[in-house]
Structure 1
Amino acid sequence: MKYKPGSRWKSVVCSAELVVVRPPKGDGELACGGAAVIEHDSADPAGGDVDPAFSEGVLIGKRYVDEGSGIEVLGAKPGEGSLSFDGRAMSLKDAKPLPASD
């Protein structure tokens, strides 16, 4: 799949919705709750269960990254499943520290 900056995706196993901030360097599969995400405009497929290994959740307004591929996504709607790219769990991106003011 082509994960272009600004493209919107949704989970098939929970209510999470995502926006791609930075695309991956290569090919791979973005998943939420252990199942591949689908384009936001796609018809809702039959649901499923969140994989217990990927059940930490997605938070609204938080960015998630995969260091191996470089993909970065923004949580647009919260959900119960957690994100992964090519089977690797994505991590919550830390905020950049502000420069000290004198």
Structure 2
Amino acid sequence: MGDSGTSGLLRFENPQGDFFIVAVGVHVYKRWCDVVPDLKSTETGTAIHPTYYPVGNVLGFRYEIVQKQLATMEKKNSKGESIKVNYYKEDGNNLYATITIA
């Protein structure tokens, strides 16, 4: 991601066949992140990514997350497992984050 307004998603599958996505991005030159647990196997990053951005005059239903520009996001899946993304270098041109699954 080279500039403001960019983002990317990583989709994970654990050994039990559970899917989740970690989203990271830059909005107005500040980082943001999200976790989307409990996905169906058919829900891909390509399908989820547009929900973070406006399409025409309609805001994606996850657009508010982008606006919050959070440095940390932690959510639990339906089995109570924690998924966390945390930017440990959240300023400047090179941002770094850890993803913790517990």
TM-score by length of 2: 0.29
Bigger strand fraction: 2
TM-score by length of 1: 0.29
Structure of greater relative contact order (alpha carbons < 8 Å, 6+ residues apart): 1
